[in-house]
């Protein structure tokens, strides 16, 4: 069994609130892992679009 596979199993994981998928820690997120909420830009955009739909329009 490859060594990398074992290392990937031990990485911290989170659940995306938009799609419900689990995603693992990435090296580019090392300095701000606590603030990472979404698994992808697509989920971030979907969240932004859905919150824009909920805001009432000014009269």
Rounded mean pLDDT, 28-50: 90
The confidence score (pLDDT) of residue 47 equals: 81
The b-or-e profile of 10-25 (16+ CB within 10 A means b, else e) is: eeeebebebeeeebee
> Distance between CA atoms of 20 and 10, rounded to whole angstroms?
20
The predicted structure's pLDDT at residue 52: 56
- Signed CA dihedral, 43, 45, 47, 29: sign only: positive
Mean pLDDT of 25-51: 89
Q: What is the mean pLDDT of residues 19-39?
A: 94
Mean pLDDT, the chain, as a whole number? 83
What pTM was estimated for this model as a whole? 0.64
Residue 56 pLDDT class (50, 70, 90 cuts) = low
């Amino acid at each position: 069994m490859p060594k990398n596979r074992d290392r990937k199993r031990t990485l911290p994981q989170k659940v995306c609130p938009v799609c419900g998928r689990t995603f693992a820690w990435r090296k580019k997120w090392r300095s701000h892992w606590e603030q990472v909420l979404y698994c992808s830009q697509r989920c971030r955009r979907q969240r932004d679009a859905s919150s824009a739909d909920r805001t009432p329009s000014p009269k």
